[in-house]
Each structure stands twice: as structure tokens, then as C-alpha cells.
Structure 1
Amino acid sequence: MSALPTPFTDGGHDASSGVGRFIDLLHRTIGLDAESIGANSVSRAVHERYHAWRSEQGDTLDDYYRAVMQDPARMQELIEAVVVPETWFFRDPEAFAALARLARVRLHERPAKPVRVLSAPCSTGEEAYSIAMALIEAGMPADRFTIDAIDVSERALAVARRAHYGRNAFRGRMLDFRERHFRAADGGWQLDAAVAQSVRFTQANLLQLDTHAFERFDFILCRNVLIYFDRDTQCAVLRVLDGLLADGGTLFVGPAETGLLMREGMSSANIPLAFAFNRPERASANVFSGAWPNVPVATSPKPPPKSAFVLPAWASAPLVQPAPQVRKPVAQQRVQPEPADSLAHAHTLADAGQLDAAAHAARAYVSAHPSNADAYYLLGIIADARGDRQESRGHYRRALYLDPAHREALTHLAALLTLDGDESGARLLIARAERVTGSTR
């Protein structure tokens, strides 16, 4: 049978308009906002699955739509065609460093109760296993934490459970963790069983979770998924997360999602580049009604002394280290804010959700240091958080002009190109990033 034309035909009639009902169905089922990945991408996925179904037993697009509605397996196949995993180990490493520190504090406060962590959605498992490695390297025994990981894609979960990964899963400048926790096997790397067994994977739809079926989690990583939802679905997901997150818990999101959390009343944990937010204390259970509870946020506990916790090697230092401070007697100590013209100050503002002020501070820094690639990279992150992809692309490209080996700018720009449908451009950037990684090992 010949390939289907585009727009594909339905019994001799133009059926391109028929794709709209599939878009609506995917929105109702998994919350996908087609505009976030491009309606053409959804159309191609429908095209692909319809063509495969018609070659087996079907006829018209109407018949295929009825089959999808009536057969959960067909619906799952369509979801698998739309959901394209894009993740890697220790993506935004500061988030995992922060999680490890906070988990140690949580365990110290409640030594009899294991720390509970959720990765949702977990895609092909890199994030969940990164959590496990971070906690293990922070010195936490395996019986003192639990990690649950959920995703709507059975295909992605099969990859996660196998725990065997190729080069694309290892990005960034620091790859020592691969030497410690993986062994070379079958052209890739196999994760140690001790790490793999610390994560429990479950197929589940985030929008359809029964939050009462879970004990609340101390930490939830829901990163780089809210950007694919429209406003109503984002609020629905936040209600689910509200029911899953424990009092005083911490929610980690992606860099482009920080503005949404600030608008919904979450309080930034003020950890540079971790994109972490604190859970307000509840007046009662399940009080979310379109906005986060407007109550005071409990003060975050102080981290343990340096001697009690040492960052693992994979946790890269902030882009700009603040100048060391001389310790004064307690009576003389004063909080010393970062200089207003420093890049660290811009980072602090961005992490607190003060995006306009952060952009102003970063631009001021660029004016004084026009050849600093990290400053342009930060401007790209801020533009991402504002949802301005065109501006963020420009900043990432400027960072790469100044530093062609800037690993983070390469990977973030690749992610943007993927969202824009430029898969070939994204692959080229990933290949460049892999060469950079190889040269720094």
C-alpha cells in the first residue's frame, strides 16, 4: 500500500480537519496542548498510527478514531507516538545537589521515617536514577529513602526498567558518576543493580492519579512537563501535586516553569539554578482550589555543617562563585547581599522568580562583561522562564558564539529546537555537545 499523502485522505475526501478531534482527545486524556509541540507534530503522529492501523485492518479516519476511542491499546499507541522522551542524567545538576542536601536535612529531622521522592513523569528513567545516585553519593543508606517514578508511556518505562543507556543519556561536563555506577555493556552502559533496584516504576497518568492512594512525598520532581499544558491543565496538575506533596515539601520544576509556580503562590527555595519551590503548610488537606494556599511559608531548616555533607563530584559548582566571606562572631554577623552588579545577584533574582529584575541585572552584567558566555546563558534561562523562545534562542546562540563548548547552552538550545520541530538542528547540537563531553573526560 502506498504511503498516505499529507493532508491524508479519508475515503477520497480531505481529512486534515479530522485531526482536530485527535488533538482534543489527547488533550482530554493526557493534557497535551498541541500548540506546545506544534499541531503538525500531532498530525504526523496521527498520520503514522492511522497508516499502521489501516495497513492491518482499517479503512477511514473515522474508523480509526472509533478504534482509538474503544480500544485502550490503540489509545496507548497514539500516546506513545506523540510522547517523545528528551532527557539525560543529571539534567540541571544543581537540582540534584539541592535535593541531596535537603533530603539529608529531612532525614535528620525525622530519622525514623524514610525520605520519599517522586519523579513524575519519569520518561525513560534518567531523572529517577539520577535521584538515586545523588542520594547514595550523599551517604544516605538505601533503606532510608524511597523513589517512585511514574509515566504515561509504557515504551519509556520499558527502557527505564532495563536501565541500559546509550551516549545520548550522558551529557554535561561531569561524567564521573558513570564510572562509579555503570559498566560498559552491549554498546552502551548498564546501571548497577543496587541503584536500579532503588526506583519503583509505575505506568500512570498524572492527570488521573488518585492522590489518596499515595503517602505524601517529601520531594517531587515534575520538570519540563507543565510547559506542554494549557492553563487549565496546568492548574489541574498543580492540584494533583498539591495532594501528593507533604507539608514543608519541595517541588522541583523546569527553568521555563518557575514563573508559573510563582504566580500560583509557591515560594522559591532560593537555591540558584535548582528551580525548587517550597510547599506551604496546609490549613487542611486538599485545599487547592485554583491557587496555592495563601499562608505563610515555614522557614527552611539550616543545612548540616560542611563536615556532615560533601557534595559529590557530579554536582558542578555555580557558574559564578560568590567571593568567600570571613566569618564574624555571631553577635557581629550581618547578612551580606551579593553585589547588585554581580552575576550571582542575577542568579538569585531569577531563582526567586523576579524575572524582570533578574533580566535587568544580567543585562547590566553583560554591559560590563560583554564576552561572558555564562551571562548570556542566564539571559536565555530567564527568557525560557518567561516563555519567550525566540529571545532565549538568541541568547543561547550568543553564548555559543562566545564559548562554542558551552555544554549547557548547547543542550538547552537543542531542547528548544526540538520543541520547534527542528529535529535535525537539535541532533547537530547534541552531537556537538557529545564531542564537548568527550573532550572534557
Structure 2
Amino acid sequence: MRLPSALPPRVRRLLVHPAAALPGHEDERRHGGGGLPALRRRGRRDHNTERTGDGRDAVSGDDTAGDDTATDQDHPATRLPADEPVLEAVNVTKHFPVRGGLRRRGGPRRVVHAVENVSLRLYAGRITALVGESGSGKSTLARLLAQLYPLTGGEVRLHGVAVPTPRGRAFREYVSKVQLILQDPFGSFNPVATIASTLKRAVAIHQPAKRGAEQQAVIDGLLAQINLVPQRQFTEKYPHELSGGQLQRVSIARALAASPEVFLADEPVSSLDVSIRLGILNLLRRLTEERNVAMLYVTHDIASARYFAADTAVMYAGEIVETGPSEAVTQQAAHPYTQLLIASAPDPSRAGGDRVRDIGQPPSLIDPPAGCRFHPRCPYAMERCKTDVPESFEISAGHAAKCWLYADDPEARAKRADNARTVADLTAPAPSA
């Protein structure tokens, strides 16, 4: 049975193994996923699978080019971030009003607490993954950074300067420097405009001095950068005549026309076939390094976050609950929700994972739980979790989690010991056959 590839891992797991949702479930068979390496042992990644189809990439643009494949030594996680972030979210909050329905006379207006007091930093030449289930607020945060929605609270800063009001030259400069790459490429193109017309418009807006032959040279250069060559084979086509992978490459080229400093990639490969996802991710990584841009990679797939990003932030119910280097977050997950995401990602090389069970559903963001928003689903929940918003506790250098498990009190220490066994299970290799 083929499952929709855009479903979150937790949902796919329940569809394949319905017993995983039952309290008495003890032994679940794991199956390997296609297209991306599993969570364990990046150093043993099969580079041959990354290079599949490189002989025809120049024509189709759908498969991974050999030049796009990076080694472990080239991985951005091996480099330290710059001192100052390019883009920064500071206590960003977004509430959407609930329209319709009953409201008590004189009562407060009901809102959806989509994003709540989120702070995040993006650094030049470095990729940060934003991971979470569907509905956790990831895409909303990306759109707030792109200034598609007004903020309810907090502020967004580019090079330390708050974003100006949505008008005037300063704001236009901001939106050209911060480019959003959407999940569905077919929904972001004019269906009656050719690829050449779309790219000409982008170049005319962001590079108005380029005209005629110079403009065409820029377009040819953009298509060459995204491995769509020969260019004339693609420029006169309409969006529906390209595959999903080819059109997503064109959307990346359109963003490159603005010479951006930040990419906001909102699940750029979730709607694509698994056979071509790696090519798009490697292309984005190469462009990030060559152009020294900062990137936010939004995904529900924590396995791809570890492979692709230097840093990972985990988001749940509108809040960021864990941040740190991707290796630390995925191999030494501190927050119980992060552990749930890891356990939901298929990994045939992992022995454990059955200790982590999903005991509930995400909360309503119209009436979110008090205290820690994860406490109704958390197997380690304590009384203070139901009333007090968790502080951020440092787990290791650069690795932090908002969870009362790491408070310095006897109950937390006892729960933390049990949680440590869960982490050990998640990272234990499967026994040899």
C-alpha cells in the first residue's frame, strides 16, 4: 500500500501499524522509508543512492546531480554559526480571530493561538530545520518571517534592525532579501504564463537594469544554477508541462533572481516523489553554501532535518520546545515530544522506540492547555506541568529544551532517569541478524 508522502510520520506510522496507538502494544516491526537516510549513522549514508539518475539530471532536472552531493566533511553542521544572525524572530506571536460560532456576551474574542512567543535565529550559510506535526505552527511562522501576515506580538529583525511597516522602499528591500519557497510549486505559478515569462518578470522586478540580452543571460544563468539545461528546452513550457521536481527548481530560480539573504523553504519536497527529494535538498544546500544565505527548512520529517540541517528547532502547538545542533536533537532528544517524532520515523537500524507511545492528540489552539501544552500527551507529566509554563533548560552546549523534566527537584530527577532509558532505546542499534 502506498501512503500519501506528505502525511506526518506519526500519522503514517499509525496507518501502517494501527496497534501502535494501543496502550498494550509492545512489539512493532520497523520498516525502512525511501528517499532519505534513516536517523542513525549519517557517516554510513549510501552515497550511491544520492547520485541516482545524475546522468539524466541535465535534461530532466528531477534527479540528484553529482555536483549537488555533499560529504560529511562538507555538512553545514561541521561549521560554527556566525556571531550575528541574519534574520531573527524575537518573541513572535500570531493569533487568528475565530469567525462565527457562539461567544458569551461581553466575553473575550476567541482566537487561534497559532504561534506563541517564538524566538529563532537564522545564520548566514547555515540551515536551520523547523520540525513538527501538521498544525504545529511551522508554516505560519515561515509566513510571519516572510511578512505575509502581520504580527500579533514580538518583532522580526533583519541584521538586527526591526522590519519596517509594510510599505515603502525599506519594506520592499526586506521582502526581496527574504524569499519564501512554497510546498506546492504548481500552486505558486501562473498557469497561463510560460517559464520564460515568469522568470523575466522576477528579473525585471529585482534587477531592473537588466534588459534585452542581459536579462536573457540572467535567466539562462538562473536555470543553469538549478540544473535545468539546455535552457531552451524549458523556457517556453507552461507549468503543467513540467514535473513537480522541475517546477520546484524553477521556483528556486525565481527566488534567486532577488539575490536573497534568507531562504524560507516551507516543506519544499513533501509534495514530490521520494525519488527526487534528495536532489532538491542537495540543490538547496549547495546554493546555501555558495551564496552564503541563511535558510529555514520547514518539515515534518525529522530524519531529513538531521541529514540536511545544521540546527533543528522542534515546534509543538505553536511553541518551540527544543533547539540545538541537529545531531544532538535527533540523537539525544531531550523533550518527550521530540522523542515521539523520532520514534515515529521509520528506521530499520534502530532496536528501540517501543517505549515511546502516543497517548493523545494535539490540543485545540483555540483553548490550549495551561502550563506545558504537551502535558496531556506526556508520559512523564507532573503536577507543575499542568499549571506552569516550562522554562528553557540547557541540556548541553547549544542544546536546550522547555521541559520541567530538567528542573532540579526529586520528582523531576526520578522522571528524568526513566526518560534517559527512552533516549537510550531510541539510539540503540538493532542486533545483527
Q: TM-score, normalised by structure 1?
A: 0.28
Relative to its length, the structure with more strand (as a share) is 2
Q: TM-score, normalised by structure 2?
A: 0.29
Higher relative contact order (CA 8 A, sep 6+): 2
Relative to its length, the structure with more helix (as a share) is 1
